[in-house]
Chains A and B, each alone.
Chain A
Amino acid sequence: MEGLLPDLEIVRKDFPILSRVLTGADGDGRPLVYLDSANTSQKPQVVIDTMVDHLERHNANIARAMHQLGAESTAAYEDARDKVAAFLGAPDRDEVIFLKNATEALNLVANTLAWPGERQVGAGDEVVITEMEHHSNIVPWQLLCERTGATLRWFGLTEDGQLDLSDVDRLITERTKVVSLVWVSNMLGTINPIGEIARRAHEVGAVVVVDASQAAPQLPIDLAAMPEKERPDLLAFTGHKVVGPTGIGVLWGRRAVLDQLPPFLGGGEMIETVTMEKSTYAPLPHKFEAGTPPIVEAVGLGAAVDYLSVLGMANVHRHEQTITAYALEGLRSVSGLTVLGPTDATERGGAISFEIPGVHPHDVATVLDTRGIAVRAGHHCAKPAHARFGVQSSTRMSSYLYTTPAEIDALVDGLEYTRQYFKLS
């Protein structure tokens, strides 16, 4: 099939878990068909080995241990920052902040914007988000608005799952202080025109925040190459969706904006000096990295983004689009099935949510699970987006760089079997 990753079978061997055999409903072995990568991706051996090697040979706290291991650990941690900066095409490596996950990154921004500072949001100000956000890019802004008296406004969605940009002039005004949106939707798969929206937001002086949790695994990102007016001011993603470990996430921010925000957590490592009267803060990135960070997780993330860079993000993206197109075609063949979101693979990411009338998503997921197929069922932490399309929940398949056309065939067969099992004609 044209467009798949070259040497896909060899690439799959990098991921030990993909050779797992699960127990089927009849007790027989079923090879794992992992179609839940938008939830979390699987890990290549090199990430596992790098983390084990760090723990076995280089473990020490960073930036404060006056010994050889401390120097090695610090170098490995900071080297990971360089790798992530290269992965994002960040204009400046000190703009890369290591945090726990994308949720923490978005909460850092929403909290520090509520506190006194040059960018402080207050009563009468407006924050604009969209109806297709993950709860982690909704709730922090709801909290910010409750705390400050600001108003939360929402971009609506069109029937085919795109952002409704028809009232952009009404939504983004001189009252807008923040525009925060997802680059690639985890539920609808939609790829949003973040450059266009950033340009509009920057015209009114708003800060632009982008949730890149699903974009970072799939799209080549080159922040430095983006026209400055279209570049987000802040961008969040999580390590575990880019073949890295859990417990590590990234906030990238334009230096000028990060310098305007007050520190988030106070503690060790984020200070310049502390007296009983007052403390001053370390420069970026340490200003936002209080306490001992997730060191081995950061090192693992460095190995993960290196792995992706060796494969080439353009190749990964092409693979995703090829598999997504094949999956959309397969899903269309299942009688009664409706896909939520764009049906053109070139306009979307690899997460495909769908409905089968008469079978609840839980039941679909359970039947598929007994055939070794892992999908997600529920609201995918995007309840407003589900409500927009009048559904309570959906089933979601999500592919990644290791997904094969044969796995999509297994899904389609599994869905046909599900329909028969629940006696749908």
Chain B
Amino acid sequence: MTTDLDALYQEIILDHYKNPHHQGLREPFEAEVHHVNPTCGDEVTLRVHLADGPAGRLVEDVSYDALGCSISQASASVLTDLVIGKPVDEAMGIHDEFLALMQGKGKVEPDEEVLEDGIAFAGVAKFPARIKCALLSWMAWKDATLSAVEPVETQMEEAQ
């Protein structure tokens, strides 16, 4: 029998929770952020390392140290799988897609082509109290990436 609970705790989520990918804080990095969910105390320290690729800036590495529930831990793991190696613009697009899924009240059909393991979080959208858990590391990643991108652009503007 599939229940709402099983929809929330998909095997993929529990697998990522037990064996998180890309865990730990690594060098080098251009930006580091610390995000907290003030209602529950979950926290994540997240670093972003960008590199120049043929198609523009690439997300070379995302490393993190997170404390929290299965949903927030698994979400950080899936995030790194999805964005590492992608051009920044494409990664931001994946972020937007994940955010839309989380805010879709369970009515958004996830695109597996884009979100891969991230589609397992579709059930979370039906648990309002848990959406913030799933979004914690994504918000941290966006914040860090924007501040890693900005100084470069500012420097370029100054050079022009």
Contacts and interface: CB of A to CB of B under 8 A. Distances in A.
Interface stretch (A153-161, A171-179, A325-333, A358-366): A358-366
Contacts of A361: 40, 69
B156 interface: no
B13 to A, nearest CB: 10
Interface in B18-36: none
B127 A366 contact: yes
B41 A26 contact: no
Interface string A338-364: 000000000000000000000111110
Given A370-B3, A379-B40, A383-B41, A360 B69 contact: yes
A302 B106 CA distance: 44
B84 interface: no
A367 interface: yes
Interface string B1-15: 101111011000010
A26 B3 contact: yes
B130 interface: yes
B68 interface: yes
A11 interface: no
B40 A377 contact: yes
Contacts of B146: none
A185 interface: no
A378 B68 CA distance: 10
Contacts of B4: 25, 27, 370
B1 A366 contact: no
Contacts of A360: 68-70, 73
B129 interface: yes
Given A360-B68, A360-B69, A392-B67, A370 B40 contact: no
A25 B72 CA distance: 21
A366 B8 contact: yes
Nearest to B129: A366
Contacts of A377: 40
Contact of B69 (A362, A379, A383): A362
A392 B73 CA distance: 14
Contacts of A383: 41
B41 A378 contact: yes
Given A26-B1, A370-B5, A393 B129 contact: no
B39 interface: yes
Contacts of B41: 378-379, 383, 386, 392-393
A363 B3 contact: no
Interface string B99-139: 00000000000000000000000000001011001000000
Contacts of B40: 361-362, 377-379, 393
A378 B39 contact: yes
B2 to A, nearest CB: 9
B140 interface: no
Q: Which of B6, B9, B14, B69 has the largest count of A CB atoms less than 10 A from its CB?
A: B69
A376 to B, nearest CB: 10
11 contacts: A25-B5, A26-B3, A360-B73, A361-B69, A362-B42, A377-B40, A378-B40, A378-B41, A379-B41, A393-B40, A393-B42
Query: What are the nearest 10 A-B pairs in CB distance?
Result: A362-B69, A360-B69, A378-B40, A25-B3, A25-B5, A379-B41, A393-B41, A25-B4, A370-B5, A392-B67
Given A362-B68, A362-B72, A386-B41, 13 more contacts: A27-B4, A360-B73, A362-B71, A366-B5, A366-B130, A370-B5, A378-B40, A383-B41, A392-B67, A393-B40, A393-B41, A421-B9, A422-B14
